[in-house]
């Protein structure tokens, strides 16, 4: 019987429920945040809901989408928080003192056509005060950003450079080696050199 189960599951892995510990913990966190109750009853109920959600709405298997690298991920988070803080202070300055400024829309090329990485890039870019993504053109690998105070951002070249650097950090932190190769990036070893 064990052999038969392997054969059935091997034919279409997306057709069978997938239980993920990390996703279960995330759903449990959402449950606690929604109800604000950290009791045994809430823990048992939240766990049951997390399992039921994964059983009723199974996620497809995504074997080639993620390859989390801890050091690049930490750098991505630290740099993102720094960019948010710096941009937030600049936007506050603009609001309080109202200096003359020039805003604009900038077209930026992206390396990947994968919707997962583009979505992460768009979300992180839009969360930084003073920039918002107004259009995504996935087939042509480009996004369009509205930028507040172009001069502060380094002009068109500065915006493009910052966007490319952000995407590079995302890909180095989360993309598998095959995606890094496809996008022209090489995986960095722990000693800082490229493979």
Which pLDDT value is given to residue 2? 45
Residue 146 burial (C-beta neighbours within 10 Å; 0-12, 13-18, 19+): middle
Write out the two tokens for 113.
Answer: 């056509």
Which pLDDT value is given to residue 4? 43
The Cα–Cα gap between 11 and 58 comes to 16
Which pLDDT value is given to residue 97? 94
Which pLDDT value is given to residue 7? 39
The Cα–Cα gap between 124 and 129 comes to 10
CA distances from 140 to 103, 143, 169, 172, 184 (A): 24, 9, 21, 22, 17
Per residue in 118-147, pLDDT tens? 999 999 999 999 999 999 999 999 999 999
Which pLDDT value is given to residue 187? 62
Q: 16 in helix, strand or coil?
A: coil
Output the DSSP codes for 118-186: HHHHHHHHHHSTTEEEEEEETTTTEEEEEES-TTTTTHHHHHHHHHHHHHHHHHHHH--HHHHHHTT--
Regions of the chain where pLDDT drops below 70: 1-18, 59-65, 187-195
Which pLDDT value is given to residue 3? 47
Which pLDDT value is given to residue 116? 86
The Cα–Cα gap between 93 and 122 comes to 25
């Amino acid at each position: 019987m064990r052999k038969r189960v392997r054969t059935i599951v091997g034919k279409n892995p997306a057709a069978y429920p997938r239980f993920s510990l990390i996703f279960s913990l995330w759903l449990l966190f959402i449950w606690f945040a929604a109800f604000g109750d950290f009791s045994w009853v809430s823990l048992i109920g939240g766990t049951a809901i997390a399992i039921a959600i994964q059983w009723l709405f199974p996620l497809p298997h995504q074997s080639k989408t993620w390859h989390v690298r801890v050091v690049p991920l930490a750098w991505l988070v630290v740099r993102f928080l720094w960019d948010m803080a710096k941009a937030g202070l600049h936007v506050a300055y603009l609001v309080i003192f109202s200096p003359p400024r020039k805003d604009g829309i900038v077209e930026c090329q992206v390396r990947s056509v994968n919707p997962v990485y583009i979505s992460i890039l768009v979300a992180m870019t839009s969360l930084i005060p003073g920039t918002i993504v107004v259009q995504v053109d996935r087939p042509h690998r480009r996004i369009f950003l509205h930028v507040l105070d172009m001069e502060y951002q380094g002009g068109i070249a500065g915006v493009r450079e910052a966007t490319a650097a952000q995407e590079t950090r995302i890909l180095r932190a989360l993309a598998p080696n095959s995606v890094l190769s496809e996008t022209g990036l090489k995986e960095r070893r722990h000693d800082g050199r490229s493979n």
